[in-house]
Amino acid sequence: MKTILRMLTATLLLFPMLGLPLSQGFAASAHSNKNKSNARLEKIAADLKSWSHKSPNSYVTVVLQLPKGPSADLLTYIQSVGGKVKRSYRHIGAITIRIPAWAAESLAGREDVSHVTYDRITAATGHLETTTGTDQVRGSLPSGAGTLDGTGIGIAILDSGIDINHNAFLDSNGNSRVLASVDFTGEGRTDDPYGHGTHVASTAAGTAGIGNGAFTGIASNANIINVRVLNAQGQGSASDTIAGIDWAIANKDVYNIKVMNLSLGSIAVDSYATDPLCLAVRRAVDAGIVVIAAAGNNGKDSNNNKIYGMIHSPGDEPSAITVGAVNTFQTVARNDDGITTYSSRGPTRGHYTDDQGVVHYDNLIKPDLVAPGNKIVEAEAPGNVLLGENPALHSSGTSAANGEMTMSGTSVSSPVVAGTVALLLQSNPSLTPNLVKAVLEYTAQPLAGFNNLEQGAGELNVEGAVRLAQLVRQDLQGLSVGAPLLTGAAPTESSTIGGQSFQWSGGLIQRWNFIYGSNLITQYQGIYGTSGDGILLGDGVLLGDGILLGDGILLGDGILLGDGVLLGDGTTMADGTLFVNGLLLGDGILLGDGILLGDGVLLGDGVLLGDGILLGDSVLLADSVILGDSSNKKHKH
């Protein structure tokens, strides 16, 4: 009981932290809970609705999400209001149309339309082998199986194009590893005048033949698929990116596309449940593609104060692996590594408004992990815009084929993880997207002095991730929950990189919590299935049999739910300014809309979990799972 009361006390303290009187916080929770049970999702994005009232006769480009394909009646209606279809998608239930703004609400009222959203602008978000531990695993494949370098794995780079003539993209025989190039910007070109995509692609998969190996990418022999969705100024639209994702899904088997990198994004407005770009990412993950997304570069304001809640879309999508940026200070050792000041912090702030006018925020923990992203030297597209604006970015090279430039941002850290995923899948092709995410998070290095909303599970650890991935059995299909997950003994949960040894995080992010326990890697969990079956690690719900992740059925050896999520290093969110577009993070809403502290965890009803355990019961959870007991916590973050 003391444990439960401590947790409840910690929960209550969140209200004054967010600037709410305690009584107001409970009232808001009860009010929101009542509305949530009866209210329905409003089918038009808030910014689009506002614009339709402000400027009804202006024309806007919107994405219509459809429960089925576009009906003849819908197409006739679009034409009747003076609109036209700009783009349709084969594998994503949506179309992009151009209409007068006043028609947006009428479209949202139709039964054959699920949601109407602005076609928002997207933009690029601005010594790897040794500091990530990649060099330590190059020779880890069985004898005769080659080098661990991503061979055979296709990485789709959705960006500003790629200079395919750069030496960074040649294989050992001098042939290009860029297997395909397509353009969705309308500019009719697939090269990289902006300069962003070439650098990103080489970070993920640049060859060792440049700079005497000093600038080798993570998966240095992986195949690259160039999907151009950002124009010559580094900008695009949600519909361009959705089209690129749709194409990648359609061609995944042709080019063995197993990984997709999105070093781009826009400010998250809609909930991930309705954001068309997030939903397109979910379709890609459902199709078996591991999607990596940049967190964004909005971690501070103009006065260098910390800002929380600025994770970009589609980085706020739970199925994506969202990556923040680490500053390595150009040293191999990791004991000086820290989160860059600009790296966007969670929680996610996409939201929806129900038909009673109540706003509900997603508030998920993001990023999922962090990786090197500051002053990274990789391939330079000749004469690119970024270089023209800042010639000092040029690092080395005297020809167009071997030029190198320096870039920083979560755009750079994202492809570091994308390349790592290619290594994991070369090591063990049976890994599902959910298992890939679990392996990366479980083996990450927690960085002291940074909380989970800044670093997720911690810094990328390629050595540990590959070692764990190679132990996972390859006959996962049809495994029952609780079956042995590994082919041998559990690995030592520590790594040594650059002469520094560190413990793994030993846990996973689950919506609003961080869960711990060796059962996560020694026994098969239902959440490790394919997301196409309705199972998603980030959602924390096993839909196959209705079991919540937090039920304590298997995850029972010292797992913490709700402990240290916001206070991972002993600090609180009050250490940073909690502003999102000028609004306080709380703005009347606690994490989980002031309603849930976890799946089925109600604040005001005296119920800790939806499995019959009431506040005041002397019963704790099965398998000795204890809520909020720091004595079970493996590592402080």
One-character DSSP codes across 402-464:
T-EEEE-SHHHHHHHHHHHHHHHHHH-TT--HHHHHHHHHHH-BPPTT--HHHHTT-B--HHH
Domain termination residue (choose one: 438, 469, 500): 469
CA distance 256 to 422: 11
Q: Is 531 a catalytic residue?
A: no
- Same structural domain, 231 and 85: no
More confident residue, 202 or 625: 202
Q: Is 115 a catalytic residue?
A: no
307-316 average pLDDT score:
95
Residue 277: pLDDT band (50, 70, 90) is: very high
Residue 145: pLDDT band (50, 70, 90) is: confident
CA distance 441 to 127: 22
Exactly one of 115, 166, 196, 199 is catalytic; name it: 196
4 inside domain: no
- Same structural domain, 621 and 499: yes
Assign residue 332 the CATH number of its domain: 3.40.50.200
- Same structural domain, 357 and 426: yes
Residue 209: the pLDDT is 60
5 inside domain: no
- Same structural domain, 346 and 409: yes
Residues 6 or more apart from 162 whose CB is under 8 A from it? 169, 178, 181, 190, 191, 192, 197, 198, 201, 224, 226, 228, 381
Tokens coding 500: 């520094």
Give SS3 for 385: helix
Backbone angles phi, psi at 407, to 5 degrees: -135, 155
| Count of domains observed in the chain | 3
- Same structural domain, 155 and 56: no
CA distance 198 to 178: 11
Q: Which DSSP state fits 44?
A: B
Q: Is 270 a catalytic residue?
A: no
Query: Does residue 347 have a cis peptide bond before it, meaning omega lies within 30 degrees of 0?
Result: yes
Region for 293 from its dihedrals, namely left if φ exceeds 0, alpha if ψ lies in -120 to 50, beta otherwise: beta
- Same structural domain, 452 and 561: no
- Same structural domain, 317 and 451: yes
pLDDT, tens digit, for every residue of 501-538?
999 999 999 877 788 889 899 999 888 887 544 455 55
Give SS3 for 343: coil
Dihedral of CA atoms 423, 427, 429, 435 in degrees, nearest 10, equals -70
346 inside domain: yes
Tell me how far CA of residue 11 lies from CA of 339, 359, 569, 597, in angstroms.
27, 21, 17, 9
Residue 302: the pLDDT is 86
Tell me how far CA of residue 637 lies from CA of 173, 181, 342, 447, 458, in angstroms.
46, 42, 20, 6, 8
Query: Does residue 276 have a cis peptide bond before it, meaning omega lies within 30 degrees of 0?
Result: no
The fraction of the chain above a pLDDT of 90, given in percent, is 55
Residue 537: the pLDDT is 59
18 inside domain: no
pLDDT, tens digit, for every residue of 86-122?
999 989 999 999 999 999 999 999 999 999 998 987 7
- Same structural domain, 433 and 532: no
Residue 585: the pLDDT is 30
Tokens coding 150: 């991503």
Give SS3 for 123: strand
Dihedral of CA atoms 218, 220, 225, 230 in degrees, nearest 10, equals 50
Residue 595: pLDDT band (50, 70, 90) is: very low
Residue 332: pLDDT band (50, 70, 90) is: confident
- Same structural domain, 446 and 357: yes
- Same structural domain, 99 and 171: no
295 inside domain: yes
Residue 504: the pLDDT is 97
257 inside domain: yes
Exactly one of 149, 159, 551, 599 is catalytic; name it: 159
Assign residue 109 the CATH number of its domain: 3.30.70.80
- Same structural domain, 604 and 560: yes
Range among 209-213, 264-268, 616-620 rated most confident:
264-268
Yes or no: say if 520 and 555 are a contact pair by the CB < 8 Å rule: yes
Domain termination residue (choose one: 113, 145, 169): 113
Residue 490: the pLDDT is 95
- Count of all residues that appear for the chain in the document: 637
Yes or no: say if 557 and 518 are a contact pair by the CB < 8 Å rule: yes
Give SS3 for 83: coil
175-183 average pLDDT score:
97
Residue 513: the pLDDT is 78
Backbone angles phi, psi at 69, to 5 degrees: -65, 165
11 inside domain: no
Residue 339: the pLDDT is 96
CA distance 460 to 447: 11
By DSSP bridging, strand 121-124 and strand 264-267 are antiparallel
CA distance 330 to 128: 9
- Same structural domain, 208 and 246: yes
Domain enclosing residue 264, as ranges: 124-469
310 inside domain: yes
Tell me how far CA of residue 67 lies from CA of 64, 376, 506, in angstroms.
10, 43, 40
